[in-house]
Amino acid sequence: MVFLCNFIITSFAKDKTFNDLNTIPTNTVGIVLGTSKKITGGSPNLYYSYRVKAAIALFKAEKIKFILVSGDNGTRYYNEPATIKKDLIAGGIPEEKIFLDFAGFRTLDSMVRAKTVFGLDSVTVISQEFHNQRAIYLADKKDIKAIGFNATDVSGNSGLKVHFREYLARVKVFIDLILNTQPKFYGDHVEIK
């Protein structure tokens, strides 16, 4: 089951993720999928910093016009979208070009809300390749045409742990689709312009 789910998602996303700014098609909106800035123990989270760098590079190459940051804002002390926004601004992205989705608790929530709350039909997902593949598959099931811009991946022990969890997350994709799992929150429509 694990290998079948992995195969379906990887096959579907073939030729839909890009590493090169010169070859990726242009989209109006890029979605940065959130993660914490620090890992347990307080060390920097490379997944985070690589996603921020990728979003800045994509914007500066004029491959996207706006950035939607979708992440967890579960408590007043933990706010992925606001933290990423600060680092995007520090990297030269104008504040008015950044929109925040505070209820992107899971990749499923981020993709569904991109369609229902932000009205997007086409997006560039910005994360590591394995995450982009899953997001692209989910986006398709929610009537969004998605491609992915691959942030640098992380090697070593932390990379292995994340990749192992990804196999389980891919099985969960199909469980969620079968059960028609909905986002934790919806909300008022937000127009990105």
Q: What pLDDT does 30 receive? A: 98
Q: What pLDDT does 36 receive? A: 93
* pLDDT band at residue 180 under the 50/70/90 scheme: very high
What rounded mean pLDDT belongs to the chain? Answer: 95
SS3 81: helix
* pLDDT band at residue 51 under the 50/70/90 scheme: very high
The answer to whether 118 and 68 are in contact (CB under 8 A) is yes
Q: Indicate the range of 9-13, 122-126, 153-157 predicted with least confidence.
A: 153-157
Q: What pLDDT does 100 receive? A: 97
* pLDDT band at residue 60 under the 50/70/90 scheme: very high
The answer to whether 98 and 67 are in contact (CB under 8 A) is yes
Q: What pLDDT does 76 receive? A: 73
Q: What pLDDT does 64 receive? A: 98
Please name each of the domains of the chain with its CATH number.
2-179 (3.40.50)
Q: What pLDDT does 78 receive? A: 85
Q: What pLDDT does 140 receive? A: 98
Residue-wise pLDDT tens digits, 74-109:
777 789 999 999 999 999 999 999 999 999 999 999
In whole angstroms, give the CA distance from residue 25 to residue 40: 36
Measured over the CA atoms of residue 16, residue 21, residue 26 and residue 29, the dihedral's sign is positive
Tokens, residue 178: 């079968």
Task: For residue 146, give every residue at least 6 positions away whose Cβ sits within 8 Å of its Cβ, in sequence order, or none.
Answer: 16, 111, 122, 123, 124, 125, 135, 136, 139, 140
Residue-wise pLDDT tens digits, 19-50:
999 999 999 999 999 999 998 888 999 999 99
